[in-house]
């Protein structure tokens, strides 16, 4: 049987909590995803029903979530959907749970500043060494210092020029150019 993958957008309704277990560290939080629909009778958008789901994030993802996500934040969660079941004195119960593979802030509802986590500088695993060697061969002798941080080989041109005299750090008109809409 294959796993059920799901993507849920919603708001964090319970602050993330981090716990260490014998299997590693896990961060748990709860998300509410509320349907929004247009009501033609009133001419406004109205809330529909809400779907609540628990989310578990293991190891490094969990550490990043614990330090980046707070109650009330709009998030996008992608992972494997499972049903958690239990039995107690009140009877049997169940609820959905997502084992997250990725969690991000929903940038359609605000802005964020991303900081890449620093990884330890250990020796590259053999598979990575083989990929690096294949990449060096594909670059056909291009010096590494010319390719640092690039995933293509070709002429490079700036998208726009910054005006060094502008206090806003933008273009000659003092603002960054608007993105093109296609």
d(CA 116, CA 118): 6
CA dihedral 171, 172, 173, 174 (to 10 degrees): 50
Q: What residue ranges do the domains of the chain occupy?
A: 4-105
Per-residue confidence at 5, pLDDT binned at 50, 70, 90?
very high
pLDDT tens readout for residues 133-158: 655 565 555 554 454 544 545 555 65
Check residue 171 and give its pLDDT.
46
Check residue 104 and give its pLDDT.
95
pLDDT tens readout for residues 55-84: 999 999 999 999 999 999 999 999 999 999
pLDDT tens readout for residues 70-127: 999 999 999 999 999 989 998 999 999 999 999 999 999 999 888 888 776 655 555 5
Comparing 119 with 12, which gets the higher pLDDT? Answer: 12
DSSP, residue by residue, the chain: ---EEEEEEEEEEEEEEEEEETTEEEEEEEEEEEEEEEETTTTEEEEEEEEEEEEEEEHHHHHHHHHH--TT-EEEEEEEEEEEEEEETTEEEEEEEEEEEEEEE-TTS------PPPPP-PPPPHHHHHHHHHHHHHTTT--HHHHTT-SS-S----SS---TT-TT-SSTTSSPPPPP--
Comparing 38 with 158, which gets the higher pLDDT? Answer: 38
Look up the CATH architecture of domain 4-105: Beta Barrel (2.40)
Nearest to 51 by CA among 66, 69, 31: 31
């Amino acid at each position: 049987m294959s796993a059920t993958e799901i993507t849920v957008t919603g708001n964090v309704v319970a602050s993330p909590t981090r716990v260490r277990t014998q299997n590693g560290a896990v961060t748990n939080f709860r998300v509410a995803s509320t349907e929004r629909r247009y009501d033609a009778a009133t001419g406004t958008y109205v809330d529909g029903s809400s779907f609540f789901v628990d989310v578990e994030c293991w190891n490094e993802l969990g550490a990043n979530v614990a330090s980046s996500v707070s109650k009330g934040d709009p998030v996008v969660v992608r992972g494997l959907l499972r049903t958690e079941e239990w039995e107690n004195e009140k009877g049997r119960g169940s609820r959905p749970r997502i084992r997250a593979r990725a969690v991000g802030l929903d940038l359609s509802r605000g802005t964020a500043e991303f900081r890449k986590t620093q990884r330890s500088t250990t020796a590259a695993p053999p598979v990575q060494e083989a990929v690096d060697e294949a990449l060096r061969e594909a670059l056909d002798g291009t010096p590494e210092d010319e390719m640092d941080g690039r995933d293509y080989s070709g002429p490079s041109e700036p998208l726009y020029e910054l005006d060094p005299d502008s206090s806003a750090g933008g273009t000659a008109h003092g603002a960054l150019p608007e993105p093109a809409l296609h």
